[in-house]
Amino acid sequence: MSDSLQLRKPRKEDGMAVHRLIANCPPLDTNSAYCNLLQCSHFADTSVVAEMEGEVVGFISGYRVPEAPTTLFIWQVAVGEKARGHGLAGRMLAAICDREGNGDLNAMQTTVTPDNEASWALFEGFARRRGATLERTVMFDREAHFQGSHDSEMLATIGPLR
């Protein structure tokens, strides 16, 4: 991975690049540009951009769960095809958790569809490196919540974080 790789908090000016990156990262659902702009502003403290030679090559959106603010919920993880396979997604997760101001985070949650092997490997690897456990339940069910239009989203809970 190039020396010029920088992991940093997103800013509003990244919103459209993030929007394009996510559109190029199936099976992620695209959101509106407005949503990505909110992620890059209100949720910047719990999100990260990976920039290489001026290009946004990775992005994670996250937020503190409103009723459990020391739980970091990871919304989406995107790494552009060129940058995959070098541990970048794992480094981005660590960058959010280890950032100044986030030292109180004690758990991570995310949802993953059952067949997304890369995503499971990412979160299992992160839990392993932190010496944490990963528990799986169903958060959004294919029939009960998506009315058959989307695979079930399994909730992965990782903790304790340190």
Site of interaction with ligand COA (CB under 6 A) = 25, 27-28, 76-79, 84-90, 116-119, 121-122, 125
Min dist. Cβ of residue 82 to ligand COA (A):
10
**Six-digit token string for 83:** 């940058």
Min dist. Cβ of residue 39 to ligand COA (A):
13
Which residue lies nearer to ligand COA by CB, 102 or 116?
116
Provide the 3-class DSSP secondary structure of residue 17. helix
Which residue lies nearer to ligand COA by CB, 37 or 92?
92
* Separation of alpha carbons 5 and 115, rounded Å: 30
Nearest to 78 by CA among 138, 137, 14: 14
Min dist. Cβ of residue 122 to ligand COA (A):
4
* Separation of alpha carbons 40 and 12, rounded Å: 5
Min dist. Cβ of residue 80 to ligand COA (A):
7
Which residue lies nearer to ligand COA by CB, 118 or 144?
118
In 3-96, at which residue ranges do the beta strands (DSSP E only) sit?
A: 6-8, 48-52, 55-65, 68-79
**Six-digit token string for 1:** 């991975």
Min dist. Cβ of residue 128 to ligand COA (A):
8
Which residue lies nearer to ligand COA by CB, 71 or 76?
76
Torsion angle of the four alpha carbons 132, 65, 148, 18, in this order, in degrees rounded to the nearest 10 = -90
Which residue lies nearer to ligand COA by CB, 11 or 86?
86
